[in-house]
Structure 1
Amino acid sequence: MTTRRAALALALAAPTIARAQGAAWRPDRPVRIVVPFAPGGATDVVARVMTETMTNLLGQSVVVENRAGGAAGLIGSEMVAKAPADGHTVLLHSNAHVIAPSLVARMPFDVLNDFAAVAHLGRVPQVLVVNPRMPVTDMASLLAWLRANSGKVDFASAGIGSGNHLASEIFRAAVPGVQMEMVQFRGGGPAMQAVIAGNAHMCVDPIASAVAHIRGGTVRAIAVAGPTRAAILPDVPSASEAGLPAWDAAAWFGAFVPVRTPAPAVAALNAAFNTAMERLQGRLGEIGVERQPQLATPAAFDAFVRADLPKVAEVLRRAGVQPE
């Protein structure tokens, strides 16, 4: 009898032992992917592209919940930071995640220490475009024009602290001695429209939203920010090719969970996101999202985020942005 009771006790304890040893975790109810922006933006699109595949991989419904508001998506991020750390609430954010501390003096959470990095979900290169009536066709002629018109240049931006603004400031820093007026708009769309209408000379925009305007001829692409060309715009040179290697800026997307989420849950979510990225390469590529396999693990992505935050802070500090 003693032996049978011991065997029964061991059998009942087996699931707990397996979990303790890192056995595969599975959600037992729907998983919420919180997007801290309004529907329709790039972050929201990436999340929604993945939901069906993620549902199949995890065996539970995966639903997107938009919680817009606050600087750099503060409201949605805070909600996830304070959610139960059980793997069922995931934050899907952009590089605005590391921009927020440069904008908000009293953050309601710690970007680095209140979240666990789950998966890097790709980067979207940004592209510099100009009004097509400007007498420039490439980076060399643009730089010459900028130097000749220093102090008269209107550089449209998607608002202080946006990814577009960050990339614009990195460009401005890469062209010392040229005075450019950074004109802030309420989003990337209005900034692009200002360039198309001739109310601003140029802007930086994620390729995902700029490509239609470039192909339609309403703006002229000068270069892609970074060392390599973008697959979605193979004829547009990279900044390095164009002679401006210091201009390297791209938006990125990533998944995070509350920091105390068990390691097996983080591992399972990471595997699901990476598998979804592999299966959806075609669809993601259509909106300009490029995978970075070297950042596939939670540890690699965490190190990337920790390194990116001070870089972003320094760019915005030099641009005169002060937390409020």
Structure 2
Amino acid sequence: MMLDRRATLTLAIAAGFAAPAVRAQPAAWRPNRPIRLIVPFAPGGSNDIVGRLVAEAAGTLLGQPVIIENRAGAGSMVGAEATARAPADGYTLLINSAQSTVPAIVANVPYNSVDDFVGIAVAGFSPYVLAVNPGLPAQTAQELVALLKANPGRYNFASAGLGSGVHVGGELFRAMTDTQFEIVHYRGGGPGVAAIMSNESQFGLPTMASSLGQVRQGGVRALAVAAAERSPALPDVPSAPQAGLPNLIHEENFPILAPKGTPPEIVAALSLAFRTAIQRIGPRMIELAGVAPREGYDTSAKVMELVREGVELNTRVLRQAGVQPQ
């Protein structure tokens, strides 16, 4: 009996110490007001389209709305800098497919694309689309190259802004084909596609998300997707190798980022909500934007490694093509 009483007393004492330890475990972070998701481009582009799809689903999971704020300018640098300088409290996020292209093509970036951010999730991946105004006398990619060679400097290429993925694609296309044309910078993917439709610019390499609807409706004509294989979103459009441009492999991704210094528990809560949202809306993103989720980016470190590798890859490819920062 004495042993039983001692055992009971020991357990009671242990329980008394354990209970506060259990109560001290922090609850998962939950926002108590709306979250801003900065899109550093004008409405209608790929980041805007994907951002709105993800924001709606993530807001439902978080219990607070995720509000899109378009902060266009300087090929995404205006919005990215605003995010980097925002309080690191979980209430300001960024979605930016140009995060790893800007440092490769812009000489003086006012923030560090890797070190000034922490990763939340990756919304998906998508190839760019070689597209022309329907009135341009080029039915294939090879006919476009021939037309540009025969008329150096005559035609305009629609960019989504200095340092954007579309701008990088234009520089790559120019170097690969040894053609001359004017690159015109617009304030995002949507305005760039609109310029091709109006014939203000005659061709471009827009994102699939910003051009998919107009390709399907005939507002622009797609000559190739900048991928090794055809895209399920545009199954009738040849891949770059099929179109005679085997080295024009150019794909965008959509990292979702927070300012450096955001507490780990906030990063973890946001990451779980956004990754869950992305998986839930994956089929919709493929259908509406040609953007497909991809596994493997389930930690902040992996998201930032994608950005870091992108900076290195874009810098290497552009330097090999003879393109220097502007």
TM-score, with normalisation over the residues of structure 2?
A: 0.81
Match of 1:135 in 2: 137
Q: Distance in 1 between matches of 2:252 and 2:281?
A: 19
Q: 2:117 aligns with which of 94, 115, 118?
A: 115
Q: How does 1:303-322 map to 2 (within 5 A)?
A: 303-314=305-316, 318-322=322-326
In 1, are the aligned partners of 2:122 and 2:255 still within 8 Å (CA)?
yes
Superposed displacement of residue 39, structure 1: 4.9
Q: 1:209-249: per-residue Cα shift (whole Å, max 9, x none)? A: 22233233333210011212222211101112223121122
Match of 2:213 in 1: 212
1:14 aligns with 2:22: yes
2:175 to 166, 173, 176: 173
Moved more, 112-121 or 182-191: 182-191
Task: Map 1:139-288 onto structure 2 (within 5 A).
Answer: 139-176=141-178, 178-285=179-286, 286-288=288-290
State the AA in 2 paired with 1:33: R
Measured in 2, the distance between the counterparts of 1:15 and 1:74 equals: 44
For 1:272 and 1:184, how far apart are their aligned partners in 2? 35
**2:49 maps to what in 1?**
45
Contact kept? 2:38, 2:68, Cα under 8 Å: yes
C-alpha RMSD of matched pairs (Å): 3.1
Q: CA deviation at 1:169?
A: 1.3
Q: Which amino acid aligns with 2:47?
A: T
Whether the 8 Å contact between 1:35 and 1:44 is mirrored in structure 2 is no
What letter corresponds to residue 53 of structure 1 in structure 2? A
Question: Residue 55 of structure 2: SS of its match in structure 1?
Answer: helix
Structure 2, gaps ≥5 residues long: 1-8
Distance (Å, rounded) in 1 between the aligned partners of 2:187 and 2:122: 27
Greater CA deviation, 301-310 or 43-52?
Answer: 43-52
Distance 1:219 1:56 in 2: 35
Counterpart in the other structure of 1:126: 128
SS at structure 2 position matched to 1:223: strand
Residues matched between the structures, number: 313
- Does structure 2 conserve the Cα–Cα contact (< 8 Å) formed by 1:32 and 1:63? yes
SS in 2 for 1:231: coil
TM-score normalized with structure 1 length: 0.81
CA contact (8 A) 1:39 1:66 kept: no
Aligned to 1:32: 35
Q: Hey, what does 1:81 align to over in structure 2? A: 84
**Structure of higher CA gyration radius:** 2
8 Å CA contact 2:44, 2:189 repeated in 1: no
Aligned in 2, Cα 1:25/1:83: closer, same or farther, shift over 3 Å?
Answer: farther
CA 1:302–1:189 in structure 2 vs 1: closer, same or farther (change >3 Å)?
closer
Deviates more, 1:127-136 or 1:227-236: 127-136
Deviation at 1:306, TM superposition (A): 0.3
Structure 2 contact 157–184 (Cα < 8 Å) conserved: yes
Query: How far is 1:190 from its partner?
Result: 4.4
2:6 aligns to what?
none
Q: Partners of 1:238 and 1:252 in 2: how far apart?
A: 18
Q: 1:248 to 1:106 in 2, by over 3 A?
A: closer
Contact 1:72 1:97 in 2 (8 A): no
